[in-house]
């Protein structure tokens, strides 16, 4: 579904992502992990083209996307969230959802601002997430957890094939964490492919089919959660342990 080939992103002399390569198989939940500063979010930004890679290639479903604009990538089936909510605070939850729906080219200019079909779709997603009660709340009135759920729902409006979740569990309580995990599992069971950046190792190990580990901008290990958990290079990257002591 997604293939990253020799991806690099340099900021002056800083190599945030350096010759990074990995694959995300269709229908899987893949976690991208690593210590702070490993380059995970920068890799996400390069994949979704919110920043331009220095070099390398990104392929989605057999088509190269690293030279496309972000809206074109979304139309091809890749959607993402951000660590910090980007909701429009003066718009309602329902309106925030609908602005992220697919635009039907030039013909979209002649449609109502909110079509009945879009409203029904947004309400269906809000119902799936259990937050229909806040559909008409302004974005500025939402709690942190509600913003996380709204962002999660909004990316589903574009009918993605694969979703990239950047720290969906960051800052949420345990109850909401379990709720988010349940939503991700249910979507994956419906065939949606998931790539997730997350620091919560319990969530990663319980949720993922495959784990890709980055350190210093490149991939140092990938495999099942059990393989990664016991890899000496991963232990060294996270704990600073010498490999012969692991």
- Give tens-digit pLDDT for 127-179: 999 999 999 988 888 888 888 888 888 889 888 999 999 888 777 788 888 88
pLDDT values of the chain reduced to their tens digit, one per residue, 246 residues: 999 999 999 998 899 999 999 999 999 999 999 988 899 999 999 999 999 999 999 999 999 999 999 889 988 999 998 766 666 667 889 888 887 665 554 444 445 556 778 889 999 999 999 999 999 988 888 888 888 888 888 889 888 999 999 888 777 788 888 888 899 999 999 999 999 998 888 888 899 999 999 999 999 999 999 999 889 888 888 765 444 433
CA dist., res. 29 & res. 205, Å (int):
11
CA dist., res. 105 & res. 137, Å (int):
29
CA dist., res. 63 & res. 108, Å (int):
26
Position 101 scores a pLDDT of 63
CA dist., res. 132 & res. 124, Å (int):
8
In the chain, the domains with their CATH numbers are 2-245 (3.40.50.300)
Position 143 scores a pLDDT of 86
Structure tokens at 6: 């020799």
Cβ(150)–Cβ(131) below 8 Å:
yes
Q: What is the pTM for the complete model shown?
A: 0.85
Give DSSP secondary structure letters for the chain: -EEEEEEEEEETTEEEEEEEEEEE-TT-EEEEE-STTSSHHHHHHHHHTSS--SEEEEEETTEE-TTS-HHHHHHTTEEE--SS----TTSBHHHHHHTTSPP-GGGGGGS-SS-HHHHHHHHHHHHHHT-GGGTTSBGGG--HHHHHHHHHHHHGGG--SEEEEESTTTT--HHHHHHHHHHHHHHHHTT-EEEEE-S-HHHHHHH-SEEEEEETTEEEEEE-HHHHHT-HHHHHHHH---GGG-
């Amino acid at each position: 579904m997604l293939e990253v080939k020799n991806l690099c992103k340099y900021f002056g002399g800083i190599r945030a992502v350096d010759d990074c390569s990995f694959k995300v198989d269709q229908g899987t939940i893949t976690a991208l992990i690593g210590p702070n500063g490993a380059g995970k979010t920068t890799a996400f930004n390069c994949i979704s083209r919110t920043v331009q890679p220095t070099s390398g290639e990104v392929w989605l479903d057999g088509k190269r996307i690293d030279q496309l604009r972000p809206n074109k990538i979304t139309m091809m089936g890749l959607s993402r969230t951000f660590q910090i909510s980007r909701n429009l605070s003066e718009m309602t939850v329902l309106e925030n959802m609908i602005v992220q729906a697919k635009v039907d080219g030039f013909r979209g200019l002649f449609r109502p601002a909110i079509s009945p079909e879009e409203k029904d779709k947004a309400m269906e997603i809000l119902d799936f997430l259990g937050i229909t009660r806040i559909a008409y709340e302004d974005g500025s009135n939402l709690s942190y957890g509600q913003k996380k759920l709204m962002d999660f729902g909004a990316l589903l409006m574009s009918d993605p094939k694969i979703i990239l979740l950047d720290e969906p569990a960051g800052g949420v309580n345990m109850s909401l964490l379990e709720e988010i995990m349940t939503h991700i599992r249910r979507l994956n069971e419906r065939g949606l492919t998931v790539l997730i950046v997350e620091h919560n190792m319990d969530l990663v190990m319980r949720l993922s089919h495959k784990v890709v580990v980055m350190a210093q901008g490149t991939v140092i290990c990938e495999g099942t959660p059990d393989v990664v958990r016991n890899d000496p290079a991963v232990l060294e990257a996270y704990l600073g342990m010498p490999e012969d002591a692991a």
